[in-house]
Structure 1
């Protein structure tokens, strides 16, 4: 059973998960401010860019719409045959990077490709490109792939290969979430605690319409599963619509305290910021959920007039969802 009194406990400040979330901004700053080791031999525009490793899809989601050259997020296991001296390989990883990532990084260096690697300085991945000219290592903390991705995006933006990313602004976005969702914030004003309350007895169905919101939805659903031990699904609109069609209407006379009546809840990410047809898609999902008595809850990255960048909105959505999952776990423990 979910105990909401735990969300007001003075012992929340001892939670390792909440402390970790609160320091996300600091980790982003540290990764971005660390001076790269080595440098790229060529400053001209590469023929193509290949990104692989941890958070490669996040880098793709931010970079792809603005990248002036062909761009690919690579799932492995081998390096594509086309990668050569005219190309740039971007590799993100940590101490536990898979062997194929290490092999791809080393092979790209041997073929003469330029390399940007984000990894701990003492990791095997950093060692795989040591001694190669044209390789730039961004030393990172092994424990925060998102901070490493922001540092990589900032460097690529500075090279004119993607949108300009200001890590300080991204860090501030994470800090703002920590301020409103922190343990000292009252239950009635804390969106993280409110999200946990709304999902306390539910099976979350998470939807994000944009590419980055969809990316955040998968991470948030994963956090909900870990926090509650119950299913949670992030999927596209057609899949969620099919699930909603299969849900029977809520019995108005059912006992609200019946543990067996655990129903889905539709979690919408930034549905108020969607363009054109996506807005219609979101409205259709909401109508469908409400027609069968499924609760609709929202996670927002803030009003449109704030003019936040895509990566800032991603971090805001993700952090708010992760705070909700953290409080959900605390209330169920």
Structure 2
């Protein structure tokens, strides 16, 4: 059973200090990564006139970079999750490898890019095995201070902007968005005003259903679901609107007047809906939002909305993901894990 009293218990919070401290340092990691990569990124400015035929990104944060840059990138942008590289990739295409410094997929992409003679941009810790494997005359290493995937994505977008493949980008905006969430979700802020603690309390005994309408909000919903599953050891689903509606229609309706001590337990846990809103207003998003909220209302499902902070696409995404990280941490604390 979830115990919300633990969310303001000093001893319980102290036991989770490593996790909470890591979340609080997210903004600092973004700044450190940008500072570490500044010289290498400055050196890319002279290459802005040498536009590749296409960009292929590989690594854990590749799809995030694509989601941010694809609408404005002047050349085709592909996020490749398979081994190696697409069959058509060659010496006219830029390969960007980023993310986990020791991931086998990143290693395979870097080795294949070198074999084919592709210009290679590697975003990783300078002393990592990936940096060693990727070394070649066609490789540009953009070093980062940590292996944080979000910090690596920020550095990669900065580098691509310097090369003329993305719009100018404000790293400090992302760091400030993470700082704002860290302040609002601090363990020193009590349950009454701490949004992350409130969200953890609301889903403490339920199955969370996560929905985000835009591409980046949907990606943030998947990060939430991953974190909540790890924290609780229970199901958590991030899905498209139609799938969320189907799950809600198949879930038992919540009885608001049920007595938890006298009434028999329901055959399955109730579902709680969390909507992630990154302030993207599009007709399709509004329609899907109405559908999932309507399904929640029909079945008496509890629902919450989480709004992104101000700023650009990546800053809003970062604020949603950071709030999800704190929510998962407080869920774990409340469950006594």
How far the C-alpha of 1:211 sits from its partner, in A, is 0.3
- Quote the residue 1:8 is aligned against: 8
Which residue, 112, 118, 121 being the options, matches 1:107?
A: 112
Q: 8 Å contact 1:13–1:183 — kept in the other structure?
A: no
**Structure 1 stretches lacking a partner, 5+ long:** none
Tell me if 1:119 matches 2:124: yes
Q: 8 Å contact 1:170–1:315 — kept in the other structure?
A: yes
- Quote the residue 1:279 is aligned against: 286
| 1:174-217 deviations in Å (ceiling 9; x for gaps) | 00000000011121111111111111111000000100000010
How far the C-alpha of 1:163 sits from its partner, in A, is 3.1
Q: Aligned Cα RMSD in Å?
A: 2.0
Q: What is the distance in 2 between the residues matched to 1:211 and 1:64?
A: 11
Q: How does 1:59-70 map to 2 (within 5 A)?
A: 59-70=65-76
Q: What is the distance in 1 between the residues matched to 2:278 and 2:59?
A: 30
**Structure 2 stretches lacking a partner, 5+ long:** none
Q: How does 1:1-333 map to 2 (within 5 A)?
A: 1-11=1-11, 12-13=13-14, 15-35=17-37, 42-43=47-48, 44-98=50-104, 100-130=105-135, 132-141=136-145, 143-256=147-260, 260-261=265-266, 262-270=269-277, 273-302=280-309, 306=310, 308-333=311-336
Q: What is the distance in 2 between the residues matched to 1:159 and 1:37?
A: 11
TM-score (normalizing by structure 1): 0.92
How far the C-alpha of 1:168 sits from its partner, in A, is 1.0
Q: What is the distance in 2 between the residues matched to 1:114 and 1:259?
A: 64
Higher alpha-carbon deviation: 182-191 or 13-22: 13-22
TM-score (normalizing by structure 2): 0.91
* SS of alignment partner, residue 137 of structure 1: strand
Higher alpha-carbon deviation: 256-265 or 204-213: 256-265
Q: What is the distance in 2 between the residues matched to 1:6 and 1:259?
A: 27
Work out the number of aligned pairs and report it.
327
Q: What is the distance in 1 between the residues matched to 2:115 and 2:264?
A: 59
Q: 8 Å contact 1:271–1:282 — kept in the other structure?
A: no
Q: What is the distance in 2 between the residues matched to 1:198 and 1:252?
A: 14
Q: 8 Å contact 2:54–2:93 — kept in the other structure?
A: yes
* SS of alignment partner, residue 248 of structure 2: helix
How far the C-alpha of 1:169 sits from its partner, in A, is 1.0
Change (3 A) 1:241 1:310: same
| 1:219-277 deviations in Å (ceiling 9; x for gaps) | 10011111111100000011111111112333355323579442110110007643222
How far the C-alpha of 1:134 sits from its partner, in A, is 3.3
Q: What is the distance in 1 between the residues matched to 2:245 and 2:182?
A: 33
